[in-house]
Amino acid sequence: MGLFSASHLTYPNSHRFLSHAYKAYNHTGADIAVSVRDLHVSLGGQSVLRGVNLHLHRGQLVALIGPNGSGKTTLLRAVVGLQKPDTGEVRLLGENNIQKALPRVGYVPQRFVPDRSFILSVREFLALRLRETQSWFWHRHRDTDDRLMADMAELGVESLLDRPIAALSGGQLQRVLIVFALLKRPELLILDEPTAGVDSPGEKTFYDLIGEIHRRRKLTVVLVSHDLSMVYRHASWVYALNGVVCCEGSPEQVMNADALKETYGLNISQHHHIGHPF
């Protein structure tokens, strides 16, 4: 068993089906990054999540797909403790107390529109993540910069340090938010539609970049995406959500039209990516 799980951690892609079988036996194991059991959430009197179950293995790049309003954001918010579940259980990095696991998690929300009346610079914004509890106020800039530069350069935003975050373009802001999420060297990176606001040529390189970060840092990545070709190229496991988990599996398994139709229902024709020859 030990050998089995070790191989799973090292080569998640080539052991998809084996790991799936393995998962059925061991839901509480140390290699589970996120485990959600029978999660029910209702918002404004409407039931949004109706018994979601999922178990994400460490080291994977997991894609969460589903039509608009299917509860993807709600699920991720529940995972990081931003949304209180009605019933059900969430375990994050082996912790039942989500708050305890949060220092090891990076999260990029779907919608973050910085207020123009708040003149926080990119440097200050990122410094708040580095030293949330101590006072960043009295620190010299160069000390902060040293700690920020590597991650900034990786995402290609090192020139933005002095800009107010409210003055960034959508794509620049997304990148800065990813730097924010990566600063504390998380074990788990949760991205809710990371390419919102990124131009479409940039989108491909953006996903390549996330794929590369995933490989190089050996972290677990969960991302929401509407771009099914990206899912096919980078994800090692896919969950299709529509209030419940409609289907899960390798991209090949999930991408077959029947399973997807079940998820997207009548919306399927709106998603032109489905026609791609995979």
Partner 1 sequence: MTFLENLPSFMLHAFTVAVVMGPLCALLGVFVTARRMAFFSDTISHSALAGIGLGFLVGLEDPTWPIVLFSLLIAGAILWLKEHTDLLTDTIMALLLSGSVAFGIIVLSLLKNRRGELHRYLFGDILSVNLDDVWLAIVLSSAIGMWLFTKLSPVALLTASEDLAHVSGVRTRWLNYAFVLVLTVVVSLSIRLLGIILVTSLVVIPPAAARNLARNLRQQLILSLIIGLIGGAVGTVASYHWDIPCGPAIVMACLAIFILSLVVGKFWLNQPTRAKSA
Ligand X SMILES: Nc1ncnc2c1ncn2[C@@H]1O[C@H](COP(=O)(O)OP(=O)(O)OP(=O)(O)O)[C@@H](O)[C@H]1O
Residue 245, beta-bridge partner list: 241
By CB under 5 A, tell whether 242 contacts Mg ion.
no
Residue 49, beta-bridge partner list: 41
* Min dist. Cβ of residue 71 to ligand X (A): 4
* Min dist. Cβ of residue 131 to partner 1 (A): 6
SS3 letters across 143-200: HHHHHHHHHHHHCCCHHHCCCEHHHCCHHHHHHHHHHHHHCCCCCEEEEECCCCCCCH
Q: What is the sign, positive or negative, of the torsion defined by CA atoms of 10, 64, 154, 206?
A: positive
By CB under 8 A, tell whether 120 contacts partner 1.
yes
By CB under 6 A, tell whether 43 contacts ligand X.
yes
| Beta pairing class for 188-192 and 220-224 | parallel
Between 28 and 46, name the residue whose CB sits nearer to ligand X.
46
Between 161 and 173, name the residue whose CB sits nearer to ligand X.
173
For residues 225 and 63, is the Cβ–Cβ distance under 8 A? yes
By CB under 5 A, tell whether 195 contacts Mg ion.
no
> 250 touches which of Mg ion, partner 1, ligand X, none (CB within 5 to 8 A by kind)?
none
Between CA 9 and CA 19 the distance in angstroms is 9
Q: Which residues contact 98 (CB under 8 A, 6 or more apart)?
A: 79, 80, 81, 90, 92
Between 64 and 157, name the residue whose CB sits nearer to ligand X.
64
Among 11, 38, 69, 215, binds ligand X (CB under 6 A): 69
DSSP state of 83: S
Interface stretch with ligand X, choices 64-72, 167-175, 227-235, 257-265 (CB under 6 A): 64-72
Between CA 262 and CA 254 the distance in angstroms is 11
Among 5, 110, 229, 253, binds Mg ion (CB under 5 A): 110
By CB under 8 A, tell whether 46 contacts partner 1.
no
DSSP state of 225: -
Interface stretch with ligand X, choices 10-18, 62-70, 144-152, 248-256 (CB under 6 A): 62-70
**How far is the first Cα of the chain from the last one, in angstroms, to the nearest whole number?**
34
How far CA 181 is from CA of 105, 147, 185, 225, 243, in Å, comes to 8, 14, 8, 18, 27
Between 75 and 161, name the residue whose CB sits nearer to ligand X.
75
Among 45, 137, 200, 216, binds partner 1 (CB under 8 A): 137
* Min dist. Cβ of residue 237 to partner 1 (A): 23
Among 5, 7, 26, 121, binds partner 1 (CB under 8 A): 121
By CB under 6 A, tell whether 48 contacts ligand X.
yes
* Min dist. Cβ of residue 243 to ligand X (A): 8
By CB under 6 A, tell whether 144 contacts ligand X.
no
Dig out the tokens for 11 from the structure. Answer: 């080569």
**At 227, which amino acid appears?**
D
Segment 150-179, which members bind ligand X (CB under 6 A)?
A: none
Which residues of this chain interact with partner 1, rule CB under 8 A? 77, 80-82, 99, 102-103, 105-107, 109, 112, 114-121, 123-125, 128-129, 131-137, 162-167, 180
